[in-house]
Amino acid sequence: MKAVVFDGQNLMIKNVEDPKINDSQVLIRVKSVGICGTDLAILNKSLATPTPLILGHEFSGDVIEVGSEVDKKWLNKRVTSEINTNIDFDCYYCKQSNYTQCLSRKALGIDIDGALAEFIAVESYLLHEIPDSISYDDATFIEPLAAAYQIFEVMPLDKNDKVMAIFGLGKLGLLITQVALLKGLQLITVDDSQKKIDLAKHFGAHYQLNRSEGVHIPSEIKNLTNGLGADIVLDATGNPDALKDIIDSCRTRGKVHIKSTHGVNAKINLTDMVVRELTLYTSRCGPFDKAIEGLESGKIKVDKLISKKFELEDIEEAVAYYNRSHDHIKSIIHL
């Protein structure tokens, strides 16, 4: 089969052996794969992975073969898959049903071969059926949308949480914008792309700030919040240099939530965080069921988040487009 392989230096399309399923796996004919900031972090080596590696972890496709232990109902189903595989169901975290933190877990497309290929073998316990109303392209948003829902799984809101500032309006930031609005929060959205800022406004965000206009963002956010700062400040920038403004924009005793995986060390002023008693939250993968419900009900909209669609053969162009386009949100690869 054809696959997109990163050999540690270069990205290339290679002919590799078709994956063979074991008794507990299914074989998926991949239809659509989203390109993610994590893929870029692997390619620019800020995130170290084993190589050679088939990239891709936001994907959808059809089940075309099932292992002997797998329920036959999965055959021919349209599916997406969670990415944390190799789960032992026996460790400290698994016993608390925290499977995404399993001590033996490996992530598809990051630790082991992923979905930027004609076929992928996955464990059947990772599968989620895609409702008919969700296209293969839109289904590639289920994984990042689940990550957006996870923010509020790990960070319960209290009665004083009214204003949230979201820094970074890429794919994740614009999904978080929509989920946060469903939670009833007042939103201040921050980016340096007017196109992305306009999209956040389109979704219903209350205030927009454009970093490229040279304004001091923490001061602007304090102006909008009676001089206090936002109750919750969320980082979806992927840029560790933004963290100072992010922390400075949070009110005393507020919540700072880091969603970006910078892949590099970041400098933050811990003294300021201690003096003002800020709480630091982080979160990663989340509930696929909630993400599917959000898309199926129409409460979450993703059609405007697809910047461009490419064929597998054009993967290099897709990566170059991601890197050079200021307004890029998400590219989809068709197989």
CB of 292 to Zn ion, least distance (A): 24
User: Of the candidates 186, 195, 194, 139, which has an alpha carbon nearest to the alpha carbon of residue 162?
Assistant: 186
CB of 95 to Zn ion, least distance (A): 8
Q: What would the two tokens of residue 52 be?
A: 């050679």
Contact 94, 38 (CB under 8 A): no
- End-to-end alpha carbon distance in the chain: 11
Contact 37, 323 (CB under 8 A): no
Which of 94, 112, 121, 228 is in the footprint of Zn ion by CB under 5 A?
94
For Zn ion, which is the closer residue by CB, 91 or 228? 91
CB of 99 to Zn ion, least distance (A): 7
| Residues contacting residue 103 through CB under 8 Å, at least 6 positions apart | 88, 91, 92, 93
Please, which contacts does 183-186 make with residues 24 or more away whose CB atoms are closer than 8 Å? 183/152, 183/157, 185/157, 185/161, 185/232, 186/162
The secondary structure of residue 182, as a DSSP letter, is: H
For Zn ion, which is the closer residue by CB, 97 or 226? 97
Q: Which stretch binds Zn ion (CB under 5 A): 62-70, 97-105, 146-154, 308-316?
A: 97-105
Asked if residue 107 binds Zn ion (CB under 5 A), the reply is: no
For Zn ion, which is the closer residue by CB, 13 or 91? 91
Q: Which stretch binds Zn ion (CB under 5 A): 21-29, 52-60, 75-83, 94-102?
A: 94-102
Task: Map the footprint of Zn ion across residues 195-214, applying CB under 5 A.
Answer: none
- Pairwise CA distance, residues 124 & 200, whole Å: 36
Q: Which stretch binds Zn ion (CB under 5 A): 2-10, 85-93, 122-130, 182-190?
A: 85-93
- Pairwise CA distance, residues 211 & 155, whole Å: 27
For Zn ion, which is the closer residue by CB, 7 or 88? 88
DSSP string covering 8-32? SS-EEEEE-PPP---TTEEEEEEEE
Which of 91, 121, 228, 306 is in the footprint of Zn ion by CB under 5 A?
91
Residue 270, SS3? helix
For Zn ion, which is the closer residue by CB, 63 or 107? 107
User: Of the candidates 197, 182, 144, which has an alpha carbon nearest to the alpha carbon of residue 299?
Assistant: 182
Asked if residue 40 binds Zn ion (CB under 5 A), the reply is: no
Q: Which stretch binds Zn ion (CB under 5 A): 78-86, 96-104, 139-147, 193-201?
A: 96-104
CB of 263 to Zn ion, least distance (A): 25
CB of 22 to Zn ion, least distance (A): 19
Pairing label, strands 119-123, 207-210: unpaired
Residue type at 134 in one-letter notation? I
CB of 109 to Zn ion, least distance (A): 20
The H or E element spanning position 271 is: helix 270-275
With CB under 5 A, what is the number of residues at the site for Zn ion?
A: 4
Q: Name residue, tokens 């999965």.
A: 74
Asked if residue 88 binds Zn ion (CB under 5 A), the reply is: yes
For Zn ion, which is the closer residue by CB, 91 or 157? 91
Asked if residue 102 binds Zn ion (CB under 5 A), the reply is: yes
For Zn ion, which is the closer residue by CB, 75 or 103? 103
DSSP string covering 152-163? HHHS---TT--E
Q: Which stretch binds Zn ion (CB under 5 A): 99-107, 221-229, 292-300, 312-320?
A: 99-107
Task: Map the footprint of Zn ion across residues 112-151, applying CB under 5 A.
Answer: none
For Zn ion, which is the closer residue by CB, 51 or 86? 86
CB of 81 to Zn ion, least distance (A): 18
Angle value at C-alpha 177, between 42 and 334, nearest 5 degrees: 45
Summarize as ranges the residues that interact with Zn ion (CB under 5 A).
88, 91, 94, 102
